[in-house]
Amino acid sequence: MSSHTYSREVLLAYLAEQLPSERMAAVEQTLRESEPLREELALLARERDQGGFTVGEVWRRERLSCPTRSQLGAYLLEALDAGPQEYVRFHSETVGCRVCAANLADLQQATAPSPEKQRRRRKYFDSSAGYLRRDS
């Protein structure tokens, strides 16, 4: 059996039980077969319990990791700051959060991309009124 490796982020998400179910099962299967991976996971769990985390890791541990629906909407419009934008991308694409994936799909449908609509939206977000309403 070839050895699988998972990124630290994926393993942390696994520990927090935030991976999609097929992914949880895949990691579990690999853990059964790989002693080195079990050791890596144990080390990560210890590290996690001792603190010393990135913001994303803290959010995940506190289970505050899911962005709000309005943040997801802003993410789709690329209207978030670089940090949050990157976090939501990581959370939805790399971690594959089911809740957020469903929310994003829903939001994407609601904001069907017609060129006319997009022009209007850009104008809206450029205005200060749009900026103030963005986080409400």
Pick 12 or 100: Cβ nearer Zn ion: 100
Enumerate residues 62-101 that contact Zn ion by CB under 5 A.
Answer: 66, 97, 99-100
Distance from C-alpha of 124 to C-alpha of 86, rounded to nearest angstrom? 23
Residue 16 DSSP class? T
Considering beta carbons, is residue 90 or 124 the nearer one to Zn ion? 90
CB of 8 to Zn ion, least distance (A): 19
Q: Which lies closer to Zn ion via its Cβ, residue 79 or residue 97?
A: 97
Q: Which element (helix H / strand E) includes 51? A: none
Q: In the complex with Zn ion, which residue's Cβ is closer, 6 or 87?
A: 87
Maximal CA-CA distance, the chain: 58
User: Following CA atoms 96, 97, 101, 104 in sequence, which dihedral angle do they give, to the nearest 10 degrees?
Assistant: -110
Whole-number minimum distance, CB 125 to Zn ion, in Å?
23
Interhelix angle 82-89/69-76, nearest 10 degrees = 100
Task: Please say which residue, 66 or 79, places its beta carbon nearer to Zn ion.
Answer: 66
Stretch that binds Zn ion, among 6-14, 36-44, 58-66, 69-77 (CB under 5 A): 58-66
Q: Which helix (H) or strand (E) holds 25?
A: helix 21-33
To Zn ion, the closest distance from the beta carbon of 77 in angstroms equals: 18
Q: Smallest distance, Å, CB 107 to Zn ion?
A: 13
Q: Which residue in the shown chain puts its C-beta closest to Zn ion? A: 97
d(CA 102, CA 65): 15
Q: Which residues bind Zn ion (CB under 5 A)?
A: 66, 97, 99-100
